[in-house]
Amino acid sequence: MYYKRNKLSEIIAATLASAVVMPMAYAQDSEGEDTILEEVVVTGIRGSMERAMDIKRDSSGVVDAISAEDIGKFPNTNLAESLQRIPGVSIDRQNGEGSKVTVRGFGPGFNLVTLNGRTLPTATVGIIGQRDNYTGGQGRSFGFENVAAEGVGGLEVFKTGNALLPSGGIGATIDILTRRPLDYDNTASIALKANADKSVGDSGSAITPEASGLVNWSNDSGTFGIGIFGSYSERDSGAAIGQANDWVVRRANDFFSNTSIVRADGSTSVTNPPADGELYAIPQDSRYDYSEITRERMNGQLVVQFAPTDNLRFTVDYTAVNNQQTEMRSEQTNWFATPFDQLIFDGEGPVSQALFMQENNNGTKDIGFEQTNRATDESIDSFGLNIEWDLFENQTLRFDGHTSSGEARPDNPLGHTATFVTFGAPVILQHSVDWSEGFPIQRYTYDDSIRGNGNGTIDQGDLATQVQRSSTQIQESDVDEFDLRYSFDWDSARLDIGANKRDTSVYVEATTTEQELGTWGMANPGDVEMFAPGLVEKYCMACQFNDFPVGDASEAFRVDATQLFPIFESAYSQNAVSRNSSQNTVEEDITAYYASFQWDTEVFGLPMELNAGVRYEETEVDAYAFQAVPNGITWRSDNDFLITYNASNENVEGSGSYDHFLPNLDLKFDLTDELVARFSYSETIARVPYGNMFAATTAGAPNRPTALGGQTGGSRQNPGLLPLESTNFDVSVEWYYGDSSYVSLGYFNKDVSNFLGTGVFDQPLFGLTDPTAGAPGSRSGDALDIIDSLGVDRSEANMFTLVALIDEFQGDLAAAQAEFEANLVNGALPQDYVDLIATNYDIVGDANDPLMIFRVTQPINNEDANIDGWEFAWQHFFGDSGFGFAGSYTVVNGDIDADPGQDPDANEFALVGLSDTANATLIYENHGWQARVAYNWRDTFLNATNQGGSRSPQFTDEYGQYDLSVSYQLTDHLQVQFDAINVTGEDLVQYRRKEKMVVWAYELEPRYSLGVRYRF
């Protein structure tokens, strides 16, 4: 059981109470404030954009910013969705919400996120709304969806290096700025919203609440101030999904002789068969999913400032973030036993894709219905102290320190991150899937009279258990950091010197379990209803889809997997539970010394600002692993394998170290009163994901028998990895032709070394043997000899069945062959006999089997690349009409692209995340009205390399989204607001190699909110 803090609720309660009882005090305290402060806090869209423009213009390097429109009112409801309005910034979405950011082609892990200049811990599992049940927190990516936008005063994106900034961001350093009470008027605000998500399912609420409140108070003398912020929000949503587990890519070699794909008797109909040497792709399966997702997010911040004298100020702050999410997912799986009876390939390069597949099953094969309950509880707690002391008229000593922690923990009722129970109905006579539309259209015919309850429909009485599994992922991240800086200020120059110490500890624990129930052969049809009567609900999955074409999916099932799991665990208590666990710790200690010099001068009569600095850093890394040790591979059915583990774990350690000098030089020229030119040079680094620095070694199970082309992987990480190193050049010109209007054009170039490549080593691991190798003298070798002599298909099912029979007859090959032949019907084994053997037999390696050869991958620093691009931005307001627009377009180029025709047996290095992006916003603000229509677009981009068993590149299709925001100021204090997000309901699609090789198609729907905000 994990203890859940209640500090957030206390902060929120205090905020809301203060907002009600103190408005008169605020009004009295604010009287007499000087007009200069009033000008700083200009409200509204135009005021926000003016402040962001001024930050951009006044900065020495390339800096873009977003400012709050008013206290407690940020331009977007999500920080990531606000950031995508900045040139060069694009976002990744999770469940339709902006989550992580990519800047100038560098993904989330290569951008540093700070809170008021402090490095934040990153602890996020990121499993909700994703494909993988085993995803664990191992990276440096910061999830912006955890932070409420209403409590943020501004965002600053530093795209060029600066010695004063912590290292770690090659793309950018993104600083989240919160409010300080002594810097603002006394005020308070409260906002209430009702949110509606069109995707919400049957179990969700049509309307969910959101509330936030902010209080800012200081005494008349300006020596003491308190700022409090609290927010609470709920969101219920649903998602209809189509996916494929993997696309198996092979190179054709006498295609029609491969009887694991085509029938040995030549009866398979093949259109556009791949020629020798041509790559072809066949999906491993096709799946429909429907998820219902809930999210509960709470944020709170308390800031206390004390200035006992004019030259001394203390600031103490506490920030708390909590985000709890749950996903209930039901699935329908259409998998192929192979060989096929009909195949249609598109016949087009670089990979000939199977567009249509059909299979007759000689009896009844199963259709799968996996049920999943995922839940995470993620939090950040940060306590900080800042002291500013003006020792002399032009000299200031600053100390800033914080201790921060982040946690991501499992949160479903069984203490798992994901609980998933698999059952099926053994009723399928034949089935097919059509990918010609870029989405799997499944068709099947069934007969439940053979192994079902015989009532002519697929229902609960036909269901049979198979396996159940769990995944428990924990991440803890602790950051202790202090920064000591001494500053000298002169009339036209400034010098900062300082030191920074940052100690980070990341702990990741992963535990997985697996228990066979009725086995993949479904030994006990009807056992789902027998052991869990009335729990499983039948529903129409096809009815959940609105955008994608769907085939046969009117008969599907859903149930909370955490209800079934303990029931089946008890019912099949005689079946052992396989458990694999690992505990990894990475300790990273960084010591930095820096100096930065700014100088305002003239060159050839032109005003020039110079900013030159250098940062020296030393980094020490220690990694510790406590991991389970495999002791065997169990072959449980045709293409299903289980790795078993020893009861005890073992310790593994590793270490690394490196140091860097990181210089920067910025030159800014005021060519005219309106025209600014910049040049920047810097060297920056970005550290590799924590997961790549683990000390553990893992072995993966084969995806099919190795003698039939199965692939077996393993991985070993590397604590000695070096960070990415980048040499950066930026040139830009900016024309500020109005108080709120400007045009800018910039070019950037980054030469980056130490990108992570992959070393691949073919080797045995842990002494594990391979019962599927087909080696002469082994059981699998004897089985293949018998299969070939009989002229039947070299299928996974035939191979497994014969090896099991050889075991059954204690090595008597003649008896095994006789039993095999006796069950052949027209040259093929009936599916019910295959399932019977799979139910009754498991195969483990013996002394005649060779060692399993794993393709062990290890990250290594061996790749260099260049990224360059152009950023164009234009912001314009039409006088005092209230109309305006803002937009940007970014072109990003890289010199290493992914090859869709990549050899499936070789790893590939390519630059991920590179894409052109654009955004445009139309604005109106006048007579109490504020309106904004925004469009954001991101072109197709490579999101991952070497995916699946065929090491395929994976792409995210281009995505464009319209958002709308309208508000009206009813009184000086009261405003009503309406927001619409993803107005046209654009969907998210990911694919491998070619556009129709879809692995993930996620339907998204519009979201609406209606709210009021009252400012006291």
Q: What is the dihedral of CA 530, 536, 540, 544, to 10 degrees?
A: -150
d(CA 484, CA 497): 9
Return the closest-CA partner of residue 420 out of 468, 368, 463, 367: 468
Return the closest-CA partner of residue 48 out of 32, 29, 68, 30: 68
Return the closest-CA partner of residue 291 out of 409, 375, 367: 375
pLDDT tens digits, 585-595? 999 999 999 99
Residue 18: the pLDDT is 36
pLDDT of 35 over the 50 cut: no
Residue 77: the pLDDT is 67
3-state SS string for 173-212? EEEEECCCHHHCCCEEEEEEEEEEECCCCCCCCCCEEEEE
The answer to whether the bond into 413 is cis (omega within 30° of 0) is no
The DSSP result for 502-552, as a single string, is EEEEEEEEEEEEEEESSTTTTSSTTHHHHHSTTT-EEE-SGGG-SSS---S
pLDDT of 909 over the 60 cut: yes
Q: What is the dihedral of CA 73, 74, 77, 82, to 10 degrees?
A: 170
Residue 899: the pLDDT is 92
Cβ-based neighbour number of residue 815 at 10 Å: 14
Residue 265: the pLDDT is 87
Beta strand pairing call for 537-539 and 640-670:
unpaired
Phi, psi of 2 (to 5 degrees): -105, 135
pLDDT of 71 over the 60 cut: no
Are 820 and 802 in contact by the 8 Å Cβ rule? The answer is yes
Taking the domains of the chain in order of start, what are their residue ranges? 45-363+375-770+853-1015, 779-841
Cβ-based neighbour number of residue 673 at 10 Å: 8
The DSSP result for 235-266, as a single string, is EEEEEEEEE-S-EEEEE-SSGGG-TTTB-TTS
Segment 188-198 shows an average pLDDT of 92
Are 362 and 291 in contact by the 8 Å Cβ rule? The answer is no
Are 425 and 451 in contact by the 8 Å Cβ rule? The answer is no
The answer to whether the bond into 339 is cis (omega within 30° of 0) is yes
pLDDT tens digits, 438-497? 999 999 999 999 888 999 999 999 999 999 999 999 999 999 999 999 999 999 999 999
Residue 70: the pLDDT is 57
The two three-digit tokens of residue 666, written as one number: 């910025």
| H-helix or E-strand spanning residue 54 | helix 44-58
The model's confidence at residue 7, banded by pLDDT at 50, 70 and 90, is very low
Q: Which residues contact 326 (CB under 8 A, 6 or more apart)?
A: 128, 293, 294, 295, 373, 374, 375, 411, 412
pLDDT of 546 over the 60 cut: yes
Residue 776: the pLDDT is 94
pLDDT tens digits, 555-573? 999 999 999 999 999 999 9
pLDDT of 32 over the 50 cut: no
Sole residue written with tokens 């034949």: 430
pLDDT tens digits, 765-802? 999 999 999 999 999 999 999 999 999 999 999 999 99
Residue 23: the pLDDT is 34
pLDDT of 3 over the 60 cut: no
d(CA 609, CA 367): 69
The DSSP result for 131-173, as a single string, is S-TT----S----GGGSBGGG--EEEEE-S--TTSPS--SS-E
Write down how long the chain is: 1016
Mean pLDDT over all residues of the chain? 89
pLDDT of 9 over the 50 cut: no
Q: What is the pTM of this model?
A: 0.83
In this structure, of 17-31, 636-650, 928-942, the range with the lowest mean pLDDT score is 17-31
The model's confidence at residue 299, banded by pLDDT at 50, 70 and 90, is very high
What CATH architecture applies to the domain 45-363+375-770+853-1015?
A: Beta Barrel (2.40)
Alpha carbons within 13 A on the beta-carbon side of 322? 21
pLDDT of 2 over the 70 cut: no
Amino acid identity of residue 774, one-letter, is G
pLDDT of 420 over the 90 cut: yes
Segment 394-401 shows an average pLDDT of 96
Are 910 and 942 in contact by the 8 Å Cβ rule? The answer is yes
Residue 507: the pLDDT is 93
The model's confidence at residue 853, banded by pLDDT at 50, 70 and 90, is very high
Residue 85: the pLDDT is 82
Q: Which residues contact 46 (CB under 8 A, 6 or more apart)?
A: 740, 877, 884, 923, 925
pLDDT tens digits, 213-248? 999 999 999 999 999 999 999 999 999 999 998 999
The model's confidence at residue 627, banded by pLDDT at 50, 70 and 90, is confident
Are 291 and 327 in contact by the 8 Å Cβ rule? The answer is yes
